[in-house]
Structure 1
Amino acid sequence: MSMILTPAAGAMLNKYFSQLAQGYGIDLGALQRGEKFSVTPPMETRLRAALLESADFLRMITLVDVDQIKGQVVDVGIGSIHTGRKANGRFLKNVGVGGHGYELVETDSGAVLPWSTLAGWANAGSEGEFMRLVNEFINRTFALDMIRVGFNGTSAAADTDPAANPLGQDVNKGWQQLVREWNDGSQIVGSAQSKIYFDPDGQGDYKTLDAMASDLINSTIDPAFRNDPRLTVLVGADLVAAAQGRLYQEADKPSEQILAQQLATSVAGRRAITPPFFPGKRMVVTIPANLHLYTQRGTRQRSAAHNQDRKGFESQYWRMEGYAVGEYRAYASFDESGIEIAPAPAPAG
């Protein structure tokens, strides 16, 4: 398809601009010129809701607006008991700030919808469908990037390089990196210098994902959190594929095939999920709400423009943003750098 904005797509895009300007309470002309505009508090709530709707995993974690660029992690009560008594009064457990800090950095998301895509959407459905597709694309793109950086980010570079760091490794420090840097990495098992072998045939350190997760729970998760029913196993697709492949090979009746299918949803008796952009050989056991994503209140800015040079519709979202872990002791992980899906090598000599 040629890169031409059809009259139908152009008309629908103009209508989209009008609705966007009306919704944010800004001048249509300024919007069409691509000028940045601040997101007001009511629209901040709507924007966050739209992002949550676009990626299921974001609904599971803790998203909080904070006032300061640096501060103490917001305590959402992970693992704390809120029931008791006092002889001369009422028992209360505060939900406030935790004992370790967070830091937000400038974060700029931008997406371009090419004319050919817009033309296809304009031809495929109604005006309402066109609006929905544009909004869903933009919100889902930005939401998935938040998750991508959360799992893969290791630093916050002044100038990011998406070609060298396609998973956003240089956009911000994500959850795994923050845990690596806490208490000498005590909550993370395995490294490039200390390999762990996962072999479903039994010739490695672990034969099953159940054994791996159970080790994390019983050896690395703090005893205060080990029996929390919210503990969830986040497991990489490569580990799941290796484990399922072995089960399917051994399955000679329907019940065993069902067991192999269920492996992707339950590990070590806990709920198991494979989130988007989660490293294939990583395993994490934590409470999903223990993973935090903070945005500084009042910093959200949006812009949208019909860019002739790029031959597409541009949408950008700027804010101060950062990641945090609520309670490090409720997080345990096998790091992908230390995992090999293979038999353990024979001892030297």
Structure 2
Amino acid sequence: MQNNTRVCFNRYLSEVATANRLDKVTGEAFNYSPVAQQSFYEMVSDKADFLKRLNQITVSSQLGQKIGLGVSRPIASRTNTDEAERQTRYVGELDGDSYHCQQTNYDTHQKYSLMDSWAHLEDFSTIYASQIARQVARDRLMIGWHGESAAAETDIVANPLLQDVNEGWIAKVRKKQPHRFMGYGSDGNPTADTYKVGEGSGYGSLDALVFDMTTNLLDAWHQDTDDLVVMVGREIWVAHGMALLANSTLPTERNALSTWFASKTVAGLPCIMPPFLPSRAVIVTSYDNLSIYHQAGTLRRTIIDNPKRDRVEEYLSENEAYVVEDFGKFAGVRNGAILLPDGAGGWA
């Protein structure tokens, strides 16, 4: 590490110590202070716009019942009080579901040579911290969409999308209420069912598929809420746009194409392509129905300057859980169950 890099790095360590109410950072593990913890969450969310829209909730216990934030159901009623007492109704989800915050390690290192290239920049501290925050954001999205289990020993080669780090949102619904997903059986295992989306098929358009999902998979009181969003994978996004483009010579189709690219709506709902969502998945839910729970006091960090390897090593960990607040407000189609036109008159 060059001398000017050392000055910048020591200044950064001093900033970290101050933020966490430490005398200095010594290479030993420390817990984030509540203020520093919140700043870290905000920095991570800034690296992925989709994360900003979700719930980031701090919980006190490692195990517990999910909070049900944003969940709502009808409560209006009338009772003949001459015959019976009025009864309250719970606005949360009736089918209770527990969460389990699993320790997740985000361990990284920065080579001296890379840090030397930042030393002349005034925002050295921001650049250094952003390197970690950016990958934490990416990892959380991968886990949320692809996570299947929390293995005692993870294998990045066998599970490159972090399938074994934690149980994500899709896995939660598939295992707890598989009837919310097209393409899964009652046991939560994939079926051989496929759904053709395109001209001349059972679903002539993505709009038809989404309308069917909304009508038949969501609880009745969620079907017309104003916060639903259609989330699609990359292949579905491209196929829908290309289908509109292919027929854009017709005035009505030109209007449809214009509407799609201007407002990106499907079946009257906003449509987005979240990072790392499986390429042929389609999900209808709301942003506030997806949460990441963080157990208070478990965000820990160790910073070690290791000259033996010419690098600075970071050991960061936290107990986290991925939660769907209301299964009745989540509808999906299994990735791989949707067939699209192959351009040769068939489906693939």
Pick the TM interval, shorter chain. Answer: 0.7 to 0.9
Identity of aligned residues (%): 27
TM-score, normalised relative to structure 2: 0.85
Q: Which consecutive residues of structure 1, in runs of 5 or more, have no partner in the other structure?
A: none
2:208 is the counterpart of 1:214: no
Matched positions, count: 332
- State the partner residue of 1:169: 163
2:277 is the counterpart of 1:273: no
Preserved CA contact (<8 Å) 1:147 1:277: yes
Change (3 A) 1:97 1:303: farther
Change (3 A) 1:275 1:255: same
Secondary structure of 2:294's aligned partner = strand
Q: Hey, what's the Cα distance between the residues in 1 that align with 2:39 and 2:339?
A: 43
Q: Hey, what's the Cα distance between the residues in 1 that align with 2:6 and 2:200?
A: 61
Q: After the TM superposition, which of the residue ranges 223-232 and 299-308 deviates more from structure 2?
A: 299-308
Secondary structure of 1:25's aligned partner = coil
Q: How does 1:184-223 map to 2 (within 5 A)?
A: 185-191=178-184, 192-200=190-198, 202-223=199-220
- State the partner residue of 1:328: 327
2:21 is the counterpart of 1:28: no
Change (3 A) 1:96 1:281: closer
Q: Hey, what's the Cα distance between the residues in 2 that align with 1:285 and 1:215?
A: 11
2:36 is the counterpart of 1:14: no
Change (3 A) 1:60 1:81: farther
- State the partner residue of 1:178: 172
Change (3 A) 1:285 1:97: closer
2:32 is aligned, of 39, 44, 49, to 39
Q: Hey, what's the Cα distance between the residues in 2 that align with 1:114 and 1:280?
A: 34
Residues 147-183 of structure 1 deviation map (CA, whole Å, 9 limit, x = unaligned): 2101110011000011211111000110100101113
Change (3 A) 1:195 1:84: closer
- State the partner residue of 1:235: 232
Residues 222-276 of structure 1 deviation map (CA, whole Å, 9 limit, x = unaligned): 111000111111111110111112222333487565345247x321111111111
Q: Hey, what's the Cα distance between the residues in 1 that align with 2:134 and 2:48?
A: 6
Change (3 A) 1:205 1:117: farther
- State the partner residue of 1:121: 118
Residues 311-332 of structure 1 deviation map (CA, whole Å, 9 limit, x = unaligned): 3333332111111211111101
Q: Hey, what's the Cα distance between the residues in 2 that align with 1:61 and 1:293?
A: 8
Change (3 A) 1:29 1:214: closer
- State the partner residue of 1:224: 221
Which AA in structure 2 matches 1:146?
R
Q: After the TM superposition, which of the residue ranges 43-52 and 18-27 deviates more from structure 2?
A: 43-52
2:141 is the counterpart of 1:147: yes
Q: Hey, what's the Cα distance between the residues in 1 that align with 2:285 and 2:112?
A: 43
Change (3 A) 1:206 1:256: closer
- State the partner residue of 1:48: 41
Change (3 A) 1:17 1:87: farther
CA RMSD for the aligned pairs? 2.9
Q: Hey, what's the Cα distance between the residues in 2 that align with 1:274 and 1:345?
A: 26
Q: After the TM superposition, which of the residue ranges 215-224 and 332-341 deviates more from structure 2?
A: 332-341
Secondary structure of 1:243's aligned partner = helix
Q: How far does residue 85 in structure 1 lie from its aligned partner after superposition?
A: 9.5
Change (3 A) 1:236 1:262: farther
